[in-house]
Amino acid sequence: MEVIVSSFNLLPSPSKFLQTTIHMGSLSVSGTNPPPRFHGLLRKSSALRFSARHSCLEVRRVSYRPPGTQQNLLNDISFTLQEKSFGLIFGRSGSGKTTLLQLLAGLAKPTSGSIYFQSHRSDGNVNSLPESLSSERVGIVFQFPERYFLADTVLEEVTFGWPRQKADFAMRQQLALNLQYAINSAGLNTISLDEDPHSLSGGYKRRLALAIQLVQKPDLLLLDEPLAGLDWKARADVVKLLKHLKKELTLLVGTIGFG
């Protein structure tokens, strides 16, 4: 099994394209190129610069063995991803991409190793204690997210997880701002919020899935095969949207790639 995490903003040389190869079991892969469908996103992110103070997602020596099994699905994985950059995990089907994303989203706990946000000063030294990835700070969009739509309207779908009891004014104001941010950021402002989610085009369904996560204003957004099942036009649409989103948050995408 193998998983490759590729990013143009891996530390410690942010201006240079670096590729981290993650060794799993006895196999390793090197010299592999990212899948072409994400090239535009990766090229753009190489132009990013460190800000005076920046925060990174740090994955350190993470291994994972599902409870009750004898074999590790992930072995000794380490990488760093700078905030507001785009990272790509690519590997063969069954190599563990989804498992890694689930660990990052806190849906399962690593058997060993650690996952945290670390803030750095401009000289590269750490600035504070590591912070855990709380569920409010991390969003995850699963493969074919439209299969999990439950509501009758776009508005209900985006606000599905909101508190049902009466919120005070400050909270309602914050929720309204978050809603506006999610709708605008996901490019849903051209459709009616009364629309049935199931009647949307493939590309708009993916936009809606993104809006559902964006409404909680995460720092890190994880996407599992965000282009799967889309035609070329919808794919281009989603890639364009991701390019826009990486200006505001850290994106990590899992996708099939063979090198």
Ligand X SMILES: Nc1ncnc2c1ncn2[C@@H]1O[C@H](COP(=O)(O)OP(=O)(O)OP(=O)(O)O)[C@@H](O)[C@H]1O
Q: Which residue lies nearer to ligand X by CB, 18 or 256? A: 256
Rounded to a whole number of angstroms, the minimum distance from the CB of residue 98 to ligand X is 3
Amino acid at 255: T
84/97 with CB nearer ligand X = 97
Token pair, residue 215, equals 């409404």
- How many degrees, rounded to 5, is the angle at CA 176 between CA 174 and CA 181? 95
The answer to whether residues 26 and 119 touch, using CB atoms and an 8 Å cutoff, is no
Helix crossing, 202-214 with 232-245: angle to 10°?
A: 20
Taking the complex as a whole, the smallest distance from the CB of residue 146 to ligand X amounts, in Å, to 17
Shortest Å distance, C-beta 229 to ligand X: 13
Place of tokens 């850290």: 250
* CB closer to ligand X, 93 vs 165: 93
* 129 backbone φψ class: left, alpha, beta (φ>0; ψ -120 to 50): beta
Nearer to ligand X, 6 or 185 (CB): 6
The binding site for ligand X (CB under 6 A) comprises: 66, 69, 73, 91, 93-99, 256
Nearer to ligand X among residue 14 and residue 34 (C-beta): 34
Nearest to 175 by CA among 186, 187, 161: 161
Least separation, in Å, of the C-beta of 100 and ligand X? 7
CA–CA separation, 117 vs 189, rounded Å? 32
CB of 25 to ligand X, least distance (A): 12
